[in-house]
Structure 1
Amino acid sequence: MSVAFVAGEAAARAVPVVAGALGAGGVAVAALPSRVRMRAELRRRWRTWALAAPLFLGALWAGRAGAFALAAGLGVVAVAEYARMARLERGERAVLGVAAVLLPAAAWLAPAGLDLRAFAALLIMSALPALLTGDTEHGFTRACRTLFGVLWIPVSLTGLVLLDGTAVALGVAVAFGDVGAWCAGTALGRGGPLARPLSPLSPNKTWAGVLGTAAATALALAAVGALTLTLWAAVLVGCVLGDLLESMVKREAGVKDAGTWLPGFGGLLDRVDSLLLALLLTMAVGL
């Protein structure tokens, strides 16, 4: 990974880009005629973006302490939503909650400790509740779902701390990618080969959306001075597969959204699913 810069510098580059996008988006949403079916939904989404963007950029601007607070806060909420969908028991919920705080803390205070020993501990922690209760019917399923949740959410969110300024670029690019996917899917995904769904897991996700994601993420990375082929590929794959990954979890759980409290999106996992995988992939190729 050839692009590496401190979080403060990255946030300073990102602020005018994000502010400009929010301003343009606000004008566009406000100008929508009342007959547009998604008018109210788009307005709710814009308000959520307008609140979330300063929180995200402000936390990362504060350095690793702020990144830890952001990662831990997101992690605690996200693992609670995941545990509810996966129908995990109290012991597994406790493991996920502890991991959501301790892993970002370790990335902040002792990053050298995140090695094979840490992952061995995660494996043991994930299986421990089922082992101690002697669950002979569902113990293996419980352990696997817990370990998956730890890897998917707390481990991924350590990237907000470990990736420093690159995490800022990732967050901006993923946000642009989601908007690009929706715009391209709406404009180009009505017919023809680009209208084909990517997977039965999410029939509304089409190849037109992938095209829009690819263009929007490249534009965002270039705007914040972080465009490299490797980083762009990690963001693109994260945006495309991250959403499908969460759809897989929701399909098995039989729910439409991970939650209902985030206006315009559902739950926190519905908002950060792409970011989680993009962070994990970027760490895999860049650290």
Structure 2
Amino acid sequence: MSTLSRTVPVVTGALGAGGLAVAALPARLRMRSELRRRWRTWALSAPLFLGAFWIGDAGVAVFAAALGVVAVAEYVRMAGLTRPDQAVLTLAAVALPALAWLSPEVLGPQLALGALLLAVVPAVLHGDAAAGFTRASRTLFALAWIPLALTGLVLLGDIALAVGVAVAFGDVGAWCGGTALGRRGPLARPLSPLSPNKTWAGVAGCAAATAGALASVGAFTPLLWSAVLVGCVLGDLLESMVKRESGVKDAGSWLPGFGGLLDRIDSLLVALLLVMAVTL
């Protein structure tokens, strides 16, 4: 049985159970409306994600490029980058998944070096002595964080499908763990001042949920689970750092229950990078 065949009933069952749970929430619960918005977003995004893998590499490449273009636009606004910087990142967001689909053999150190050099060109040509180094550094960071990471959706194949599902379950598990166990005691300690609401209880919930998700789709290995778990935790904190410096609460406001796309895929980006590092 393929990973996709295992994944569809797992995701369908989770959405069904989640839908019943949020429908049964009492009206007086403060987070009721937000949880319902989040469930609706899950219900709309899951078929897009699974549908891309059902189409095949072409569908995954288009899906990865679409995610990259939107995520780049959100990042550029937060980081205060210019249109030339955004143009370079958008080009990478479209070109790298396309190359991973059409000519994966060309993806190597030479192409990576070329992309890194291209990222600094706008600031250098502009002669930006006041903020050029900051612009170039932020563009280089974004190149690895968004386009390069999303290329993993194509390169990793069925593993990427398992990682995407595990990260989604991990987000829910982290919230459940933090809510149930994170009010007092040692597990209530925050992971980082960057995000005081993220506690060790959330990590415990995320660890259980990611392990269960990987096992349910037949993809569990200790190494893969470790990479996904670290990606979930580090990705969330990484985006919190970007948002804190930018002085914003969310990367956007168009995705109900989450904010922006980066608020939704921050953990997936780092997880994909780590999984590529340990599997490719």
Could you say which TM-score interval applies, normalised by the shorter chain? over 0.9
Letter in 1 for 2:273: L
Give the residue type in structure 2 aligned to 1:99: A
Return 263-272 or 108-117, whichever deviates more. 108-117
| Residue 269 in structure 1 maps to residue 267 in structure 2 | no
Partner Cα distance (1:224, 1:181) in 2 = 20
1:41 counterpart = 2:34: yes
- Partners of 2:25 and 2:130 lie apart in 1 by 54
C-alpha displacement at 1:189, in angstroms? 0.4
Provide the C-alpha distance between the structure 2 equivalents of 1:110 and 1:124, rounded to a whole number of angstroms. Answer: 21
2:228 aligned partner: 235
Match of residue 226, structure 1, among 219, 226, 230: 219
1:77-114 deviations in whole A, cap 9, x for unaligned? 00000010000011101001101000111111111111
Q: Secondary structure at the match of 1:158?
A: helix
Task: Give the corresponding residue for 2:239.
Answer: 246
> Secondary structure in 1 aligned to 2:2?
helix
Distance 2:69 2:116 in 1: 19
Distance in 1 (alpha carbons) for counterparts of 2:225 and 2:87:
35
Tell me which of 3, 19, 35 is aligned to 1:10. Answer: 3
Distance in 2 (alpha carbons) for counterparts of 1:123 and 1:255: 27
Distance 2:13 2:213 in 1: 12
CA RMSD between the two structures: 0.8
1:99 aligns with 2:92: yes
Mapping 1:20-35, distance limit 5 Å:
20-35=13-28
Equivalent pairs, count:
280
Q: Deviations along 1:183-218, whole A, 9 cap, x unmatched? A: 010000000110000000000000000000000000
Deviates more, 1:246-255 or 1:117-126: 117-126
* C-alpha separation in 2, matches of 1:22 and 1:159: 25
Gaps of 5+ in 1: 1-7
Tell me if 1:126 matches 2:116: no
CA distance in 1, matches of 2:98, 2:127: 31
Residue of structure 2 equivalent to 1:3: none
- Deviation of 1:9 after TM superposition, in Å, equals 2.1
- 1:212 corresponds in structure 2 to 205
Which amino acid in the other structure matches residue 257 of structure 1? D
Q: CA deviation at 1:123?
A: 1.7
Aligned partners of 1:109 and 1:147: how far apart in 2? Answer: 25
Question: Who is 1:171 aligned against?
Answer: 164
What is the letter of the counterpart of residue 30 of structure 2?
R
**Which of 139, 151, 172 lines up with 2:144 in the alignment?**
151
Shift of 1:176: 0.4
Note the residue ranges of structure 2 that are not aligned, 5 or more in a row.
Answer: none
Task: Identify the residue that residue 54 of structure 2 maps to in structure 1.
Answer: 61
Q: What whole-Å deviation, never above 9, does each CA across 1:106-153 have from its counterpart, x for those lacking one?
A: 111111111111111112111100111111111111111001001000
CA deviations 1:226-249 (Å, max 9, x no partner) are 000011001000000000000000
Code of the aligned partner of 1:273: D
| Paired letter, 1:33 | P
Q: Structure 2 length normalisation: TM-score?
A: 0.99
- Within the alignment, does 1:75 sit opposite 2:93 as a pair? no
